[in-house]
Amino acid sequence: MAAQIETAVLGSGCFWCSEAVFQQLHGVQSVKSGYSGGHVQNPSYEQVCGKDTGHIEVVQVQFDPAVIGYRDLLEIFFDTHDPTTPDRQGNDVGPQYASAIFWQSEAQKEIAASVIAQRQADFADPIVTKLLPAATFWPAERIHDDYFIQHPNQSYCAFVISPKVEKFRKRHSDKLKPGV
């Protein structure tokens, strides 16, 4: 019997960082960077960075819930970005860097609300993660695919993504794909 694949759409700042984390999880079938939540059809990276399309940089995560649950993905989501800074992750500032969960079903909406409430105790400031209904996912340009894998020595990758990935690997080593 074929695996039942589900989709999670998460915005946690730069999609290069998010992709680099979620790609390493056992049970994740694919991760695609893109844009969601805006009013422009098929937006470009430049348009989204212009801050007036309404889109958020997101990753679309295809996963097997028999191997890794949606709640597990959300725990990792909250462990790998700061959900207390509106429209900002570190030096990345703008509405495209909002912390957001685009729920794909009522069950995901309920789980997300529960995780947000539980995780608030881990943060001194209020969680500002937007809990939004499913919206059109627009894939990012191909140049963004596997960005960290393709460009590990690029300065942003080396100084921002690499430390985040190492911290994630230590904290969630039990959830990594074999050989990672």
> Which residues are known to be catalytic?
14
| CB-neighbour burial class of residue 41 (10 A; exposed 0-12, middle 13-18, buried 19+) | exposed
For residues 143 and 126, what is the distance between their CA atoms, to the nearest angstrom?
35
Per-residue pLDDT tens, the chain, 180 aa: give them. 566 999 999 999 999 999 999 999 999 999 999 999 999 999 999 999 999 999 999 999 999 999 999 999 999 999 999 999 999 998 899 999 999 999 999 999 999 999 999 999 999 999 999 999 999 999 999 999 999 999 999 999 999 999 999 999 999 999 999 887
